[in-house]
Amino acid sequence: MNRSKSLAATSKSITAMARKRSSKTTLIFFLLLSLLAFLSFLPVFASLPSLPSYSHSHDLHFHLPRHQRLHRRQKISVRKFEIAEDKFWKDGKPFQIIGGDLHYFRVLPEYWEDRLLRAKALGLNTVQTYIPWNLHEPEAGKLVFEGIADLVSFLKLCQKLGLLVMLRAGPYICAEWDLGGFPAWLLSIHPDVRLRSSDPAYLQKVEGWWGVLLPKVAPLLYGNGGPIIMVQIENEFGSCGNDKAYLSHLVKLARGHLGEDIILYTTDGGSRETLEKGTIQGDGVFAAVDFTTGDNPWPIFKLQKQFNSPGKSPPLSSEFYTGWLTHWSEKMARTDADFTAAALEKIMLQNGSVVLYMAHGGTNFGFYNGANTGADESDYKPDLTSYDYDAPITESGDVDNAKFKAIRRVMGKFSSVSLPSVPPNNKKTGYGSIQLKRTAFLFDLLDEIDPLHIVEAESPTAMEYLNQMFGFVLYVSEYVAKTGGSKLVIPKVHDRAQVFISCSPEVNGGQVSYVGTLERWSNQAINLPNVKCVSSTSLFILVENMGRVNYGPYIFDRKGILSSVYVDGSVLKRWKMISIPFHNLNEVPKFNPVIQVASKFHKVSAGKKLEHKSVGVGGPSFYTGHFSIDTKTEVTDTYISLRGWGKGIAFVNEFNIGRYWPTSGPQCNLYIPAPILRQGENVLVIFELESPNPELMVDSVDQPDFTCGPGQASVHQNEDGKASASLLTPNPLGLRTF
Q: Is the peptide bond before 171 cis (omega within 30 degrees of 0)?
A: yes
Q: What is 295-333 written as a DSSP string?
A: S-HHHHHHHHHTTS-TT----EEEEEESS---BTTSPPP
Q: Choose the catalytic residue: 82, 319, 330, 688.
A: 319
Q: Which residues pair with 698 in a beta bridge?
A: 434
With b meaning 16 or more CB within 10 Å and e meaning fewer, what string describes 104-117?
A: bbbbbbebbebbbb
Q: Percentages helix, strand, coil for the chain, rounded to the nearest 5?
A: 30, 25, 45
How many residues would you count in the chain? 738
Cα–Cα distance measured from residue 199 to residue 202, given in angstroms and rounded to the nearest whole number: 5
Catalytic (active site) residue 113: no
Q: Choose the catalytic residue: 236, 464, 478, 688.
A: 236
Cα–Cα distance measured from residue 627 to residue 624, given in angstroms and rounded to the nearest whole number: 10
Helices (H) and strands (E) in the chain, counts: 15, 35
Cα–Cα distance measured from residue 424 to residue 387, given in angstroms and rounded to the nearest whole number: 21
Cα–Cα distance measured from residue 206 to residue 151, given in angstroms and rounded to the nearest whole number: 18
Give the N- to C-terminal CA distance of the chain in Å, as an integer: 74
Exposed/middle/buried for residue 685 (C-beta within 10 Å: 0-12, 13-18, 19+): buried
Nearest CA among 640, 617, 627 for reference residue 693 = 617
Phi, psi of 482 (to 5 degrees): -90, 160
Catalytic (active site) residue 319: yes
Q: CA geometry: angle at 337 spanning 332 and 339, to 5°? A: 110
CB-side exposure of 637: number of CA atoms within 13 Å? 22
User: Is 283 within 8 Å of 248 (Cβ atoms)?
Assistant: yes
Q: Which amino acid type is present at position 707?
A: T
Cα–Cα distance measured from residue 356 to residue 337, given in angstroms and rounded to the nearest whole number: 13
Q: Which amino acids are annotated catalytic?
A: 236, 319
